[in-house]
């Protein structure tokens, strides 16, 4: 009995202990299960939050990308898409478009101020009895100052930015334009001095334009931006050729000079507050547009923080290809710019207003074809063609086309056909804007203004020779044909050298 009682007691203790163990284990399991459940919830919550953050970042990147695409696709964008506002129907122009439009306008003034003298030279020559050879000297006086400023103008644009350099240039050349009629009445030396000052100030225009647009536009839009700006440059010829004879007949010789000088001062007031040297300094630019500009630029920093010296620049054949291209372009350009009204008057005996019309039409077409060349150049680069290939093909068109047109010009018998060939020559030559004119930024982006100044200085010297030389050739031979043939041969020879040695890659680091 005792044994049985002991067994029952032991069994009872065992069962009680086992029961207590089970009872104790169950709350522990419940507690552990609850911890695991909460842990999973916390983990799921963390994962969900991380996924949400990743999604928000992805959406944000996509929004920025879409905004950039909107900026790239068109000139006008909705403000609510750009900045997040809910105002409907409000459109804004991207800041880089404002920059290029203001640049195009001042480039139009730049050339219109030159053309005024090309038209006014005819009555001035008759009034003062100037010969053809001396007329060439008066025409070239602009280039004397232009030659002097070409070198340091590029350095000024590199150091202080295109905005400041352009502003000072416009202020000085507008003053010189205003003083030109007074100087012509005062004395011939005074006229030559004022025209030289005018050229000195205008030497900053092209380097400043190139420097400013290279900062404000991505690589795949740069040719189009230059095309728009140079389109304004060529339209300035049209305005100058058409407006000048009309105003001189109604307001006198000083009328067009006063008009274009006043427009320069008006432009300055807008330029001073509406443009910055760099898009990063602009208060008006959107983040999307700024990101688009920055993403579309290659890193052009120098390895040692120094810019190439003149000796280093001249040691490379691509630099000499640029120099020769600038020489040829300026040679032909200034022959046509300075002598077209005189050509139509001398060869076809048309009056001054008719000569202005025949001279204006080619420059208008040049503005259109220059823009087409820029768009075509950007499209070829976007399709994957190398920059070297694009620069060479554009410049080849820009030289071969004018050469053939000038050779054919020797055989025309009517002013209409002469105007057609002049139009063809200038239209084809504008393709050089997407060739050598952009090439400075390609091979030496860190000192493109200085390089532009060097090449432009040599090109300006060539323009002086061609402008004066045309007058002597006409007086000596009594014909424009010989000089037009010389110019055509120079175009063809430069085409060969350009295709052999030009490069669209960065040469100087």
**Domain 311-508 bears CATH identifier 1.25.40.20:** no
CA-CA distance, 490 to 404, in Å (whole number)?
A: 12
Residue pair 172/77 in contact by the 8 Å Cβ criterion: no
pLDDT in tens, 8-34: 444 444 444 444 444 444 444 544 555
Residue 190 vs residue 419, higher pLDDT: 190
Nearest one of 134, 244, 224 to 180, comparing CA atoms: 244
Looking at the chain, the whole-number percentage of residues with pLDDT higher than 70 is 77
Residue pair 468/137 in contact by the 8 Å Cβ criterion: yes
Q: Where does the pLDDT of residue 328 fall: very low under 50, low under 70, confident under 90, or very high at 90 and above?
A: very high
3-state class (DSSP) for residue 92: strand
pLDDT in tens, 153-203: 878 887 888 888 899 999 999 999 999 888 888 888 898 999 999 999 998
**What are the start-end ranges of the E strands in 232-296?**
none
Q: Which of 57-61, 377-381, 484-488 has the lowest average pLDDT?
A: 57-61
State mean pLDDT over 382-387: 89
Given a cut of 50, is residue 74 above it in pLDDT? no
Residue pair 489/400 in contact by the 8 Å Cβ criterion: no
Burial 412-444 (b: 16+ CB within 10 A, else e): beebeebbbbbbbbbbbbbbbbbbbbbbbbbbb
State mean pLDDT over 323-344: 84
Q: What does the pLDDT read at residue 352?
A: 60
pLDDT in tens, 231-274: 898 888 888 888 888 888 888 888 899 999 999 999 999 998 88
Domain range annotation of the chain:
94-290, 311-508
Q: What does the pLDDT read at residue 8?
A: 43
Residue 53 vs residue 433, higher pLDDT: 433
Given a cut of 90, is residue 371 above it in pLDDT? no
| Average pLDDT, rounded, for the chain | 78
Q: Where does the pLDDT of residue 354 fall: very low under 50, low under 70, confident under 90, or very high at 90 and above?
A: low
Given a cut of 50, is residue 477 above it in pLDDT? yes
Nearest one of 488, 6, 436, 385 to 226, comparing CA atoms: 436
Backbone φ and ψ of 78, nearest 5°: -75, 140
Residue 288 vs residue 44, higher pLDDT: 288
Q: How far is CA 154 from CA 137, 150, 207, in A?
A: 26, 7, 5
Residue 366 vs residue 35, higher pLDDT: 366
What is the H or E stretch that residue 505 is in?
none
Q: What does the pLDDT read at residue 11?
A: 47
Residue pair 394/431 in contact by the 8 Å Cβ criterion: yes
Q: What does the pLDDT read at residue 355?
A: 65
Q: What does the pLDDT read at residue 23?
A: 46
**Which CATH superfamily includes the segment(s) 94-290?**
MFS general substrate transporter like domains (1.20.1250.20)
Q: What does the pLDDT read at residue 508?
A: 84
Q: What does the pLDDT read at residue 1?
A: 45
Residue 375 vs residue 468, higher pLDDT: 375
Q: What does the pLDDT read at residue 356?
A: 64
Q: What does the pLDDT read at residue 323?
A: 95
Residue pair 290/227 in contact by the 8 Å Cβ criterion: no
Residue pair 275/102 in contact by the 8 Å Cβ criterion: yes
CA-CA distance, 397 to 433, in Å (whole number)?
A: 11
Contacts for 411 with CB less than 8 Å, ≥ 6 apart: none
Q: What does the pLDDT read at residue 198?
A: 93
Residue pair 49/270 in contact by the 8 Å Cβ criterion: no
CA-CA distance, 12 to 23, in Å (whole number)?
A: 16
CA-CA distance, 105 to 122, in Å (whole number)?
A: 27
Q: How far is CA 202 from CA 21, 242, 396, 445, in A?
A: 101, 22, 28, 22
Domains 94-290 and 311-508 share a fold: yes
CA-CA distance, 300 to 2, in Å (whole number)?
A: 104
Instruction: Say how many C-beta atoms besides its own lie within 10 A of residue 41's C-beta.
Output: 10
Q: How far is CA 411 from CA 182, 242, 346, 419, 472, in A?
A: 41, 27, 16, 13, 21
pLDDT in tens, 114-164: 888 888 887 888 887 777 777 778 877 888 888 888 777 878 887 888 888
CA-CA distance, 186 to 183, in Å (whole number)?
A: 5
Q: Where does the pLDDT of residue 298 fall: very low under 50, low under 70, confident under 90, or very high at 90 and above?
A: low
What is the H or E stretch that residue 113 is in?
helix 95-128
Q: What does the pLDDT read at residue 353?
A: 65
pTM more than 0.75: no
Q: Where does the pLDDT of residue 428 fall: very low under 50, low under 70, confident under 90, or very high at 90 and above?
A: very high
Residue 86 vs residue 192, higher pLDDT: 192
- In sequence order, the β-bridge partners of residue 92 are 77
Q: What does the pLDDT read at residue 149?
A: 85
């Amino acid at each position: 009995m005792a044994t049985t009682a002991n067994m029952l007691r032991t069994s009872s203790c065992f069962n009680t202990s086992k029961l207590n163990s089970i009872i104790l284990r169950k709350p522990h399991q419940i507690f552990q299960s609850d911890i695991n459940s909460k842990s999973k919830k916390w983990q799921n919550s963390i994962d969900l939050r991380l996924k949400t953050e990743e999604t928000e970042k992805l959406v944000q990147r996509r929004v920025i990308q879409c905004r950039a695409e909107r900026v790239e696709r068109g000139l006008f964008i909705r403000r609510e898409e750009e900045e997040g506002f809910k105002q409907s129907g409000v459109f804004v122009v991207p800041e880089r478009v404002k920059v290029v439009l203001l640049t195009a306008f001042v480039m139009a003034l730049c050339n219109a101020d030159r053309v005024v003298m090309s038209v006014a030279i005819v009555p001035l020559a008759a009034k003062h009895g100037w010969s053809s050879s001396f007329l060439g000297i008066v025409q070239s006086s602009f280039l004397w100052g232009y030659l002097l400023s070409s070198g340091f103008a590029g350095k000024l644009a590199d150091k202080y930015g295109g905005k400041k350099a352009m502003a000072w240039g416009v202020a000085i050349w507008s003053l010189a334009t205003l003083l030109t009629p007074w100087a012509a009445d005062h004395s011939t030396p005074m006229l030559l001095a004022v025209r030289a000052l005018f050229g000195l100030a205008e030497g900053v225009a092209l380097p400043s334009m190139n420097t400013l647009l290279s900062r404000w536009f991505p690589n795949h839009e740069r040719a189009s931006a230059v095309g728009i700006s140079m389109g304004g440059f060529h339209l300035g010829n049209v305005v100058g050729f058409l407006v000048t004879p009309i105003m001189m007949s109604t307001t006198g010789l000083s009328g067009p000079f006063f008009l274009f000088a006043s427009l320069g001062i008006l432009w300055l007031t807008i330029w001073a507050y509406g443009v910055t040297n760099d898009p990063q300094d602009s208060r008006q630019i959107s983040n999307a547009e700024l990101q688009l500009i920055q993403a579309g630029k290659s890193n052009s920093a120098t390895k040692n923080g120094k810019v190439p010296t003149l000796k280093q620049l001249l040691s490379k054949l691509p630099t000499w290809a640029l120099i020769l291209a600038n020489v040829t372009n300026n040679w032909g350009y200034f022959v046509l710019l300075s002598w077209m009204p005189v050509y139509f008057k001398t060869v076809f005996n048309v009056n001054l207003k008719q000569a202005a019309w025949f001279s204006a039409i080619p420059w208008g077409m040049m503005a259109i074809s220059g823009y087409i060349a820029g768009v075509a150049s950007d499209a070829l680069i976007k399709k994957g063609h190398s920059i070297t290939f694009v620069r060479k093909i554009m410049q080849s068109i820009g030289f071969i086309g004018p050469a053939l047109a000038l050779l054919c010009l020797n055989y025309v018998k009517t002013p209409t056909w002469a105007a057609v060939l002049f139009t063809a020559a200038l239209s084809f030559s504008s393709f050089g804007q997407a060739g050598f004119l952009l090439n400075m930024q390609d091979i030496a982006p860190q000192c493109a203004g200085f390089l532009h100044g060097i090449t432009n200085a040599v090109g300006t010297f060539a323009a002086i020779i061609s402008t004066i030389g045309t007058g002597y050739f006409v007086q000596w031979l009594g014909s424009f044909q010989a000089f037009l043939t010389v110019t055509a041969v120079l175009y063809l020879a430069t085409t060969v050298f350009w295709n052999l040695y030009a490069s669209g890659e960065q040469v100087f680091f």
